[in-house]
Amino acid sequence: MNKIKFGVIVSLLFLLVGCGAYFNQPLDVKKARIGENTTKEGILKGILPVTPTIVGVYKFRDQTGQYKLLESGSTWSTAITQGTTTMLVKSLEDSKWFSPIERENVSNLLNERQIIRSTRQEYNKNNNKEQVASIPPLLFAGVLLEGGVVSYDSNIITGGSGARYFGAGGSVEYREDRISIYLRAVSTSNGQILKTVYTSKTILSQGISANLFRYVNLKRLLEVETGVTRNEPAQLAVKEAIDKAVEMLIIEGIIDGVWKPEGGQPVVDKIKEKYEEEKREAAATTVLDRKLEDRRGKTAISFSANSNHIAGDYSNPNSKLGASLAYKFYFKKPNLNMNVGLNYFELENEGAFSDEFMSFDINLEYDFLPFDDLSPFAYGGLGTISNLDLDNPKIKFQYGVGIEYLPMPNLGIKLFGEQNLIMSDNIDGLERGKQDDYYWKVGLGLNFYLGKPYNRVKSVLFE
């Protein structure tokens, strides 16, 4: 029964990862509803143009030519919706900065206008009227919008995890795709390209499952299985990318004087400030949505509490608490720093040896992911160790590994493990055998970073 309970607990833990989808499963037919709103609160909220610009969109389509990816084989269904022109027109209308006019099916419009003329002529002819009521002229666009969905990258990152124990277990899988959109504004008076913008959006797919398979007795088998799969709609992803492209087109046009907002230059300056901040954030974000920003200052003060465990010539070692204070500074390369530290600790073998020590360390430390919130690190260096009377100090070497988490800029929480190799066999007062004494240290501490980093952001494709 305990194993069955364990299996149920494991299954529930896996399902809690996707509880939003799992506990809202569709059980009945749903009515039609207003389309989902994908546009979040943006920079242009509450800012309107002096005069909306009349724009025309002839074609804004899928330019990737890709078909849906199926595990079972090929399909002729397209990976991208073919209604992107309609989506763009809707985004332009919702922005209130543009007045879109019909151009995608302009031939249908011209045919209908011709039918109206012919009908009126026939009506006036039958009623002996000489004048024919004219049709108002069509609006012409001052700006044409061109572009399309230029890429659809499947499986840019895939992964998952799972666990199974005595027939009970669960698994989580995920996959991420990515679409890219280019949009440009072209002047109809001279053909000049006024602005070109580029946006991208990821499409997430997740699968969560849990199962239990156990014999509860000799002839009775218990089998339980549950799970949920969630796929982000590609159509909504395309719409969100188009909405973002329209917003960027407006913002960059305002900054360059192509469009004029109500409120004049103060509004332009406010928009520019917010957009520059968004661009800095985008420059520090890779294609895998990793934000690569150096949030550590050039120097740091570190405090840590640790547990020390001797491996000497006596048996029955005990773990004893200690404390450390260190100062470190970064070189111009943000991965590498040097730190110097002072440590106080106690080493003990039960019933045989106990003494208090101080050590002074100099280490070179390497951060493997210096621009991430969570970064593993490794270090090594040279130091000295002596008792509190500073009698007969001894040379030692130390090395260790750890991981640091930054909940906010310039504050790090670190967890580390370290081995100290003493160049002596009598640190515990006893020389026996050929192997020198050493001790282990496991610690938890805080890093307080000072000053500004050498490199504020790191913009790369893959890091």
Q: Is CATH 2.40.160.20 the right assignment for the domain spanning 299-450?
A: yes
The pLDDT of residue 9 is above 60: no
The pLDDT of residue 7 is above 60: no
105 compared with 74, residue with greater pLDDT: 105
Residue 439: what pLDDT?
92
Residue 463 pLDDT grade (very low, low, confident, very high; cuts 50, 70, 90): very low
What is the location of CATH 2.40.160.20 in the chain?
A: 299-450
Residue 3 pLDDT grade (very low, low, confident, very high; cuts 50, 70, 90): very low
- 328-378 pLDDT, tens digit per residue, is 998 877 788 999 999 999 988 888 888 899 999 999 999 988 888 888 999
Residue 332 contacts residue 355 (beta carbons within 8 Å): no
Rounded mean pLDDT, 290-315: 86
Q: What is the pTM of this model?
A: 0.71
Which residues make Cβ contacts (< 8 Å) with residue 326, sequence separation at least 6? 301, 302, 304, 339, 340, 341, 342, 361
**Class for the domain spanning 2-21+40-103+141-283:** alpha beta
- 149-191 pLDDT, tens digit per residue, is 998 888 888 888 888 888 888 888 988 888 999 999 999 999 9
DSSP run (H or E) holding 247? helix 234-255
Here the tokens at position 226 are 């549950």
Q: What are phi and psi of 155, to 5 degrees?
A: 55, 45
| DSSP H stretches of helix in 31-147 | 84-95, 106-126
Here the tokens at position 45 are 């909220």
Residue 462 pLDDT grade (very low, low, confident, very high; cuts 50, 70, 90): very low
What is the location of CATH 3.40.50.10610 in the chain?
A: 2-21+40-103+141-283
Q: Indicate the average pLDDT of the chain.
A: 84
Among 97-106, 297-306, 422-431, the range scoring the smallest mean pLDDT is: 422-431
Longest dimension (CA), the chain: 128
- 233-289 pLDDT, tens digit per residue, is 888 889 999 999 999 999 999 998 888 988 888 888 998 888 888 887 777 777 666
- 400-438 pLDDT, tens digit per residue, is 999 999 998 889 999 999 999 998 888 877 877 778 888
Neighbours of 355 (CB within 10 A): 13
